[in-house]
Structure 1
Amino acid sequence: MNSCASFSRCLSRNWRLQIPSCNHPQSIQVAGLCLRRYSNPTMTPKPPQPAARVAGRKQDVWTIVNEGAAASPKQPIVNMGQGFFGYNPPEFIIDAAKQALDKVECNQYSPTRGRPRLRKALADAYSPLWGRKLNPDTEITITTGANEGMLSAFMGFIEEGDEVIIFEPFFDQYISNIEMPGGKIVYVPLHPPPKGATQNSSAGEWTIDFSELEAAISPKTKMIVLNTPHNPVGKVFSKDELLKIGELCVKNNIIILSDEVYDRLYYVPFTRIATLSPEIESLTLTVGSAGKNFYATGWRVGWLIGPPHLIEYVAAAHTRICYSSVSPLQEAAAVGFEQADANGFWQSAVEEMRGKVDRFNEIWKELDLPFSDPEGGYFVLVNMKKVNLPADYPFPDHVKNRPRDFKLSWFLIQEVGVAAIPPTEFYTDDNAHIGEDWLRFAVCKEDAVLESAKERLRGLKKYISN
Structure 2
Amino acid sequence: MTSSARPLLNRRLAGFGTTIFAEMSALAVKTGAINLGQGFPDTDGPEEVREAAVRALREGRGNQYPPGPGVPELRAAVTAHQQRHHGLSYDPDTEVLVTAGATEAIAASLLALVEPGDEVVALEPYYDSYAACIAMAGGTRVPVTLRPHEGVFRLDLDELRAAVTDRTRLLLINTPHNPTGTVLTRAELAAVAELAVERDLLVVTDEVYEHLVYDDATHVPLASFPGMRERTVTISSAGKTFSFTGWKVGWITAAPALVTAVRSAKQYLTYVSAGPLQYAVAEALALPDSYFTGFRDDMRARRDLLTAGLEEAGFGVFRPAGTYFVTTDIRPLGYDDGFAFCRALPERAGVVAVPNAVFYDHREAGAPFVRFAFCKRHEVIQQAIERLSTLRRQL
Shorter-chain TM-score bucket reads over 0.9
Deviations along 1:112-139, one digit per CA (max 9) or x if unpaired, are: 1000000001111111344353211111
| Structure 1 spans left out of the alignment, 5+ residues | 1-43, 195-200, 390-402
Partner of 2:183: 236
Give 1:71 shift.
4.3
Correspondence for 2:46: 90
Segment drifting more, 370-379 vs 126-135: 126-135
Partner of 1:423 in structure 2? Answer: 356
* Cα deviation 1:378-420 (Å, max 9, x = unaligned): 001111102236xxxxxxxxxxxxx710111112111101000
- Normalized against structure 1, the TM-score is what? 0.81
Shift of 1:60: 3.5
C-alpha separation in 2, matches of 1:306 and 1:171 = 22
Matched position secondary structure for 2:137 = coil
Decide which of 52, 65, 87 is 1:131's aligned counterpart.
Answer: 87
Higher gyration radius (CA): 1
Q: Which residue of 2 aligns with 1:183?
A: 139
Compared CA separation, residues 373 and 56, structure 1 to 2 (3 A): closer
Tell me by how many angstroms 1:56 deviates.
Answer: 4.4
Matches within 5 A, 1:16-415: 45-46=2-3, 49-57=8-16, 60-72=19-31, 76-193=32-149, 201=151, 205-267=152-214, 268-277=217-226, 279-338=227-286, 340-341=287-288, 344-388=290-334, 404-415=337-348
CA distance in 1 between partners of 2:16 and 2:229 (Å): 37
Q: Say which SS state the counterpart of residue 180 (structure 1) adopts.
A: helix
CA offsets per residue over residues 245-278 of structure 1, 9 Å max, x none? 110000111111110001111112221111122x
Change (3 A) 1:45 1:284: closer
How far apart are 1:162 and its partner, in Å? 0.9
CA contact (8 A) 2:172 2:203 kept: yes
Alpha-carbon distance change, 132 to 453 in structure 1, aligned in 2, over 3 angstroms: closer
In 1, Cα distance between equivalents of 2:381 and 2:61: 41
What is the CA-CA distance between 1:53 and the residue it aligns to? 2.5
Distance 2:324 2:38 in 1: 11
Q: What is the DSSP-based 3-state SS (H/G/I as helix, E as strand, rest coil) of the residue aligned with 1:206?
A: strand
SS in 2 for 1:361: helix
Unaligned runs of 5+ in 2: none
What is the DSSP-based 3-state SS (H/G/I as helix, E as strand, rest coil) of the residue aligned with 1:323?
A: coil
Deviations 1:311-355 (A, max 9, x none): 1111121112221121011111001112x117x210110010000
One-letter amino acid matched to 1:209: D
8 A contact 1:144–1:324 mirrored in 2: yes
Is 2:363 aligned against 1:432? yes
**RMSD over aligned Cα, in angstroms?**
1.7
Give the counterpart letter for 2:306 in structure 1: F
Give the SS at the match of 2:285: helix
Distance 2:8 2:311 in 1: 51
* 1:461 aligned partner: 392
**Following the alignment from structure 2 to structure 1, what is the Cα–Cα distance between the partners of residues 333 and 256?**
52
TM-score, length of structure 2 as denominator length: 0.95
User: What is the CA–CA distance in structure 1 between the aligned matches of 2:380 and 2:279, rounded to whole Å?
Assistant: 31
The structural deviation recorded for 1:67 is 4.1
Asked if the contact 2:182/2:321 (under 8 Å) is kept, the reply is yes
Change (3 A) 1:132 1:442: closer
Distance 2:259 2:137 in 1: 18
- The DSSP-based 3-state class of the residue aligned with 2:13 is coil
Contact kept, 8 Å, 1:144 with 1:300, in 2: the verdict is: yes
266-275 or 83-92: bigger deviation: 266-275
